[in-house]
Amino acid sequence: GRALNQENQRRLNNRNNHKQPIKWKQLDYIELEAFLSLLIQAGAEFSHHQSLVELWDISRSRPIYHATMSLERFKNLLRFLRFDDR
């Protein structure tokens, strides 16, 4: 919810070395479901040996990854999404 989005904006600003702050795009239920679905899809396809760049390359992998969300958004969610109390 709101606390998750605020915490992720704070983390993004702390890791940002650019002069302009990067705006955290709020995560909603539909996008969270899409993110988790991509993780499950990659596991079901035994894609653990492929890099994220390869998964998002439509000439090397299924187009579902590229069609669902951008690689940068996926990496940000992977980096900042937490399921603990920290």
pLDDT at 61: 85
Q: In angstroms, what is the C-alpha Rg of the chain?
A: 14
Residues 6+ apart with CB under 8 A from 53: 71
- What is the residue-averaged pLDDT of the chain? 82
pLDDT bin (cut points 50, 70, 90) of residue 2 is low
Structure tokens at 11: 């983390």
User: Within its chain, how far is the Cα of 40 from the centroid?
Assistant: 13
User: Within its chain, how far is the Cα of 66 from the centroid?
Assistant: 12
Distance CA 65, CA 14 (A): 28
Place of tokens 């900042």: 80
Q: Who wins on pLDDT, 19 or 70? A: 70
pLDDT in tens, 24-61: 788 899 999 999 999 999 999 887 788 999 999 999 88
